Amino acid sequence: MTRRTVRIAMNGVTGRMGYRQHLLRSILAIREQGGLDLGDGSALWPEPVLVGRRDLALKTIAERHGLDEWTTDLDAVLADPGVDVYFDSQITSAREDALRKAVAAGKHIYTEKPTATGLDGALALARLADEAGVRHGVVQDKLFLPGLLKLRRLVEGGFFGRILSVRGEFGYWVFEGDWQEAQRPSWNYRAEDGGGIVVDMFPHWEYVLHNLFGRVTSVQAHAATHIPRRRDERGEPYEATADDSAYGVFELEGGVVAQINSSWAVRVHRDELVEFQVDGTEGSAVAGLRRCRAQHRSSTPKPVWNPDLPATESFREQWQEVPDNGEFANGFKAQWELFLRHVVLGTPYDWDLLAGARGVQLAELGLRSSAEGRRLSVPELSL
């Protein structure tokens, strides 16, 4: 098989997502499998150039994985005509500037969400990228999770009949950092650094709802900061200025009502860290990250409300496991592969900067809805 190289500047690889999901589980995993088979007798070989702020941290990662190229000079990397793609998984507030520079330098763009800190910036990026004629993609990893792929199979197979509602439950306890270390970075809890659960999670909910059930047409959200003081990576106390929980109701095109709770201040009594229950006239399903269980109307039991007696039925056992019927790759890697094919072969790719802007729009309107205490409609975006 002949080898074709694509050089990717990866900015933010010292971070949680950049290192584990994008470098290790995606780009290096593609290399371990011998490259990406392009189906024409050639394999695409991703060559990462690690970009960041701390030379030593980058060098350590490069050496650990046998990589040759790293730099703290973003401008130089963007000026290098040999670099094809710019990827960004930096802290959210640093993203828009870097993406603008990369577009101006004519690089194809692949980026974590949210693409910008406000809708105007997100839309401007999408326009600039189109005008520059570069290809662009935004991470929408949840769509590629086994649980949601099985849920999509049920939707596309008509299992639900008319879909009525979606209820999502996401979250876990993020430690305050005083007596046990926090498992998320402290900037996530500072609004001035681009933190907050609405900004973080509403972009995910937008593309999940949009792709599976219909475009979000209105939002009513209540955001809260349940834990107002936390300790940072150095053990120093700080004020949590961003929301750590959000309770949202979304109306979708076609009339489906979705209600999603997102929280970093909740203890898990669920099978998975995120679960969506979908109820339809013909059947219901509960999908998590990996599993999906369904109950058809023909096998729906008839529970009787009687608080005077203990429950005699095991409700969870009344559901049927939806089988895998195939192997699922890591969701981030699956999307990287589609994006790289799009870059080199021009294959269709829908999850672009305009799609990313919809996520930013929903987060912005969600926060405004919460601040103003009212339901807001979500206008359809176009460029």
Ligand X SMILES: NC(=O)c1ccc[n+]([C@@H]2O[C@H](COP(=O)([O-])OP(=O)(O)OC[C@H]3O[C@@H](n4cnc5c(N)ncnc54)[C@H](O)[C@@H]3O)[C@@H](O)[C@H]2O)c1
Q: By beta-carbon distance, which residue lies closest to ligand X?
A: 15
Smaller CB distance to ligand X: residue 92 or 220?
Answer: 92
Among 1, 3, 5, 16, binds ligand X (CB under 6 A): 16
* Contact between 302 and 318 (Cβ < 8 Å): no
Smaller CB distance to ligand X: residue 13 or 340?
Answer: 13
Is residue 118 part of the contact set for ligand X (CB under 6 A)?
no
Is residue 90 part of the contact set for ligand X (CB under 6 A)?
yes
Among 28, 38, 62, 94, binds ligand X (CB under 6 A): 94
Closest CA to 336 of 139, 146, 67, 145: 139
Give the shortest CB-200-to-ligand X separation in angstroms.
Answer: 5
Smaller CB distance to ligand X: residue 94 or 128?
Answer: 94
Q: x/- contact string, 18-47, with ligand X (CB under 6 A)?
A: x-----------------------------
| Phi-psi domain of 291 (left: phi exceeds 0; alpha: psi -120 through 50; beta: other) | beta
| Phi-psi domain of 355 (left: phi exceeds 0; alpha: psi -120 through 50; beta: other) | alpha
What residues between 176 and 195 interact with ligand X by CB under 6 A? Answer: 185, 187
Smaller CB distance to ligand X: residue 268 or 345?
Answer: 268
Is residue 147 part of the contact set for ligand X (CB under 6 A)?
no
Is residue 59 part of the contact set for ligand X (CB under 6 A)?
no
How far is 114 from 73, CA to CA, in rounded Å?
23
Smaller CB distance to ligand X: residue 61 or 166?
Answer: 61
Enumerate the H helices of the chain as residue ranges: 16, 29-32, 55-64, 74-79, 95-104, 119-132, 146-156, 197-212, 331-345, 353-372
Is residue 14 part of the contact set for ligand X (CB under 6 A)?
yes
Is residue 96 part of the contact set for ligand X (CB under 6 A)?
no
Part in contact with ligand X (CB under 6 A); list of ranges 91-99, 221-229, 245-253, 271-279: 91-99
Part in contact with ligand X (CB under 6 A); list of ranges 69-77, 87-95, 128-136, 225-233: 87-95
* Contact between 357 and 213 (Cβ < 8 Å): no
Q: Give whole-number Cα distances, 148 to 39, 80, 207, 285, 327, in Å.
A: 27, 39, 12, 11, 14
How far is 45 from 34, CA to CA, in rounded Å?
8
Is residue 141 part of the contact set for ligand X (CB under 6 A)?
yes
| Phi-psi domain of 256 (left: phi exceeds 0; alpha: psi -120 through 50; beta: other) | beta
What residues between 198 and 217 interact with ligand X by CB under 6 A? Answer: 200
Alpha carbon 334 to its chain's center = 13
Is residue 53 part of the contact set for ligand X (CB under 6 A)?
yes
Q: Is 172 helix (H, G, I), strand (E, B) or coil?
A: coil
Is residue 12 part of the contact set for ligand X (CB under 6 A)?
yes
In terms of DSSP bridges, do strands 292-296 and 229-231 run parallel, antiparallel, or are they unpaired? Answer: unpaired
How far is 243 from 288, CA to CA, in rounded Å?
24
Interaction site with ligand X (CB under 6 A) = 12, 14-18, 52-53, 89-92, 94, 112-113, 139, 141, 185, 187, 200
